[in-house]
Structure 1
Amino acid sequence: MAGTKRKSAKEGQEQEAERGSNASSGSSKRIKESETSEQERKRASHLYTDDNPSTTLHGTSFKDAASAHRTIQMVSANRSLTYQFQTINTMLHRAKGHPSKTEGIKASIPIFQEWVDSYQSRKSALRSFKMLKKDRVARYLKYVDEHTHYSDKEWQASKSWAERYVALQPKQRLANTLMDEKDPAGEDLESHRYRVLHEIVPDVPRDAWQQEDLWADISKRIPSGTHLKMLLYAYSPLGNV
């Protein structure tokens, strides 16, 4: 009897250990499932949702070839090349990753792919206006009110852009910040900056600029009106000033 009891006790211990093992296995399985679910949630969030819906351009689609062409045309109208890439590349991955691809979705993929493949050449074709740091732009804001030979509206627009740039948080991007928060189809800060600088900055070598063109008083580092306009858009032909 004693042997039988010892055997029963041993069996009980083994059964308890087995239950513990199963519980541990079940717990590990739940953790793995939870981790997988979290990874899938992040992936879905990245590809299928808008992180900034109030400023996102609406009407983009990958449902068919016509929608793909319309999306590219829509996003290319006023938004920066950076934003164009963000949107079109996202459309491409959403179409590729769609669990139930229709013939229309399949037709949209090569259209988006062709644009994405041409992105680097598009970027290389743009003029380069190296960004000045925020603190350098901030130091020139005080000179805006001294220039009255331009229309007030023009100067206020330049000043407003500079103030918004200086106030941007570290993770905020020009391409994702709208000039008019109520108009996602309009310009963002990056596309507006490029358009203005492309209009006001002659496409000439740096050494073609004369000091008198850039400074009202070079000893005091007071910029000319033309130079100040560039500075307010975070650019100078001289580089860092």
Structure 2
Amino acid sequence: MSDPTRTSQSTRHATDPAAAAARTPAAAVAPTIRRPLAAAFRILLAAAALTGLLLAALGSPAPAHLVTRFTVQANLAVALVSACSAHRAWTGRRPVSPRVTGALLSFLALPALVHYALPAGGTTAFTLPEAGTPTAAQTIGHQLLHALIPLAALADWLLLTGPRGFRLAYAWQWPAYPLLYLAFTLAFPTTAGAPPPTVTTALTLALVICLLPLIAVGIDQVRPSPRLHHNRISPTGISPLK
């Protein structure tokens, strides 16, 4: 198979315009495709994540201790990556690697499932601490971080990115940090700011951590492609004439 980045001996030393065009790699003449809608959505996602973190900190008696919570760490990462991804979409640069976006998607889904589906999830360090009488700011912050941000990240993935970007190898890489965090909460519950989970809860969390990436990869392989702005003839858009 020929390599589009390599040139033949007959055109390597030619200087006329036609030969120069023949020596130019296809990737170097690809048109810049800006995606302002995706950029605006991701800026809003980053702003919502930062707003939720700020509200959660205002409603907590010990804001500094929230950094040890998995939900806070995941949303901080999402705010940074979403801002970077928005800049890339606005300027037409290469998008953030699916290895990163898929990991953050599973990181956001984990505390949401723990918060709403696991009976003892509210007592683990994967979610935000529950107050006896939560304030309005704390309630809104919890809803943003546990519900709205994961749903928005899911919509970004399904509606604004192409399918089949996740690889099966990622399913063995994404659980690494959550499993290490789970081990940390078992070994150092005081530092994590929450009581250690029971054996049943810990095993359930480990199972969910390992299953979420597999589910994401499986859905990514079969989901339809969204209507993204691309080349009219070729979706790769490698030719400036198309």
TM-score when scaled to structure 1?
Answer: 0.29
Larger Rg belongs to: 1
Higher relative contact order (CA 8 A, sep 6+): 2
Taking structure 2 as the reference length, the TM-score comes to 0.29
